A and B are shown apart, each in its own frame.
Chain A
């Protein structure tokens, strides 16, 4: 296999070194990879969809318990993380853009690095929140979970616990996606640093971007559903 590519061959879509033999040209290859990523994201929609459905059913069953439990979450931290993720989606979009228009590896790394930094910030805030819940004994484990304050007569502790079970399942699965995302972005950054991504070849940056934006979308729904319930009761968090 030839390791040296003649400079004039570089702009010929039919002989790019990154073109897999089963594609006609770079454009077809790029489109196929984006389409493949979307097929994967459809399975992700169903994966998270099951949890959103569980949320809907239990919320319908225990509306007061969910409002009381939700009020204990700090919407300011959830809101801060929402902003962090939206900014990270912007920097991610700009990372893809910088590869598309042929900006230097340095510029690509700047946007990818900012995205990674914001992702890590999100996880840091999330870890702080989880620790708070641990201190407040709100991790829904049998024998550990304890709701400290008084509850109305029709709201039992296990109904409140159900909210926390769903809260940890959904935010935990989301956080796991963020952790995997940080691993993937390190890989993308390595190849950006090596100067791999050009206007002809940037499929990996683009499909990683699709993944990152998808994880952002999940949070866009989680934030109001988990943090903002019953905020109109005065938002009394302790």
Chain B
């Protein structure tokens, strides 16, 4: 298995997408979408992070083993958030989501 070399064209395209998404996140923050502001901001950030991981960090072209390690990292992060938040939001006197 030989190394896959990502072309410069792909790097410049990813770079362009990251810049457009950065502008988009600033513009979106200036509108009041209520709770959706956070959802939009995080959707854009996750998209940007995914582009960086797949192309700049070459994961798109890496071995299965690398994929497993990368995905497991974010999977454990999700466990930490889900289990912690499921505790906080279901307490009788919720200290979160109460104003």
Contact = CB atoms under 8 A, between A and B. Distances in A.
Given A220-B49, A224-B45, A213 B25 contact: no
B-side interface mostly: helix
B80 A231 contact: no
B48 interface: yes
Interface residues of A, number: 52
A49 B77 contact: yes
B96 A61 contact: yes
Given A100-B5, A223-B25, 8 more contacts: A42-B70, A50-B80, A56-B81, A61-B95, A79-B26, A89-B56, A97-B11, A209-B57
Nearest to B78: A49
Given A38-B70, A217-B53, A53 B15 contact: no
Interface string A216-227: 110011011100
Interface stretch (A26-34, A125-133, A170-178, A187-195): A26-34
Contacts of A217: 48-49, 52-53
Contacts of A27: 1-3
Interface of B: 1-3, 5-6, 8, 11-12, 15, 18-19, 22, 25-26, 29-32, 37, 41-42, 44-45, 48-49, 52-53, 55-58, 62-63, 65-66, 69-70, 72-74, 76-77, 80-81, 84-85, 88, 95-99
Contacts of B41: 224-225, 228
A22 to B, nearest CB: 17
Contact of B19 (A83, A97, A235): A83
Contacts of A100: 3, 5
Interface of A: 27, 30-31, 34-35, 38-39, 41-42, 45-46, 49-50, 53, 56-57, 60-61, 63-64, 75, 79, 82-83, 86-87, 89-90, 92-94, 97, 100-101, 154, 206, 209-210, 213-214, 216-217, 220-221, 223-225, 228-229, 231-232, 235
27 contacts: A35-B63, A35-B65, A35-B66, A38-B73, A42-B72, A45-B74, A53-B81, A53-B84, A57-B96, A60-B88, A75-B29, A79-B22, A86-B18, A87-B15, A89-B15, A90-B12, A93-B11, A94-B11, A97-B8, A214-B57, A216-B52, A220-B45, A223-B25, A224-B29, A225-B41, A228-B29, A232-B32
A64 B98 CA distance: 12
